[in-house]
Structure 1
């Protein structure tokens, strides 16, 4: 039984993998960490009186650095891109598209639908998660989602 648990833990958290379900599990874990960083900075900046769209941009880009490190070393750790500068620029490009989606969704939810800053941020983050995973898996791993 212990060997089975050790194998499961190793498979989930340690071994390199190309399994889409394990990668998505890890991506959710990494995304959760990045979300905590992003959300905490967003709330703090909003509390300090900074416009919510500016706060979202600052928080998003700070969390991108943590997300990059964890994603490329743990989630998509078999990247087909060998040049780290190219890899980071691709990651940043995908993140910028995600940030644009986030800003549009925040504006829609806060200013048009009046959902509130916190609920709007949570919904936007959840929706953008699927863009980020699909685009990063395709770009870093070079395989279509199937």
Structure 2
């Protein structure tokens, strides 16, 4: 009985390490996406002099594809090509929900609370990251 319990414990630890590795990879991908997003927002707002809200939304859309590709192929190691179309649809749908939440939260943080737009975007990204990881793990990249 003790041997079987040890094997079960080893299996559980291996699953935990695998899930932790995915979470850490997802965090790293999140930082890459954040860097892309913030860079684009900065360029659009401070260089092109666009409104911060428009800048944030356009940058968010461009970042979707970068995030999808990195999450699918690196974080979750999903190299199955025939599922990509369905996954991209789910990912894009989730991203639209994120865009809506991002837009509302940017308005609230910047216009109502007077928070600097880059700080606001960073906080919003952290909030949405936690929600998204769960959806990616258990719905999109299953």
TM-score tier, shorter chain, comes to: 0.7 to 0.9
Separation of aligned partners in 1, 2:82 and 2:29: 22
Tell me the TM-score normalized by structure 2: 0.80
Q: Mark the runs of 5 or more structure 2 residues left unpaired by the alignment.
A: 1-15
Decide which structure has the larger Cα Rg and report it: 2
Separation of aligned partners in 2, 1:32 and 1:93: 21
CA change 1:80–1:98 in 2 (3 A) is farther
Deviations 1:33-61 (A, max 9, x none): 11111110011111122111111111011
Q: Mark the runs of 5 or more structure 1 residues left unpaired by the alignment.
A: 1-16
Asked if 2 retains the 8 angstrom alpha-carbon contact of 1:81 and 1:87, the reply is no
Asked if 2 retains the 8 angstrom alpha-carbon contact of 1:72 and 1:79, the reply is yes
Alignment of 1:76-115 (within 5 A): 76-78=76-78, 82-115=82-115
Separation of aligned partners in 2, 1:81 and 1:101: 30
Q: Give the aligned partner of residue 7 of structure 1.
A: none
Q: Give the aligned partner of residue 35 of structure 2.
A: 36
Alignment of 1:49-68 (within 5 A): 49-68=49-68
Asked if 1 retains the 8 angstrom alpha-carbon contact of 2:87 and 2:141, the reply is no
Structure with greater proportional helix content = 2
Asked if 1 retains the 8 angstrom alpha-carbon contact of 2:73 and 2:79, the reply is no
Tell me the TM-score normalized by structure 1: 0.78
Asked if 2 retains the 8 angstrom alpha-carbon contact of 1:106 and 1:120, the reply is yes
Instruction: For residue 18 of structure 1, report the CA deviation from its aligned partner.
Output: 8.4
Separation of aligned partners in 2, 1:51 and 1:42: 10
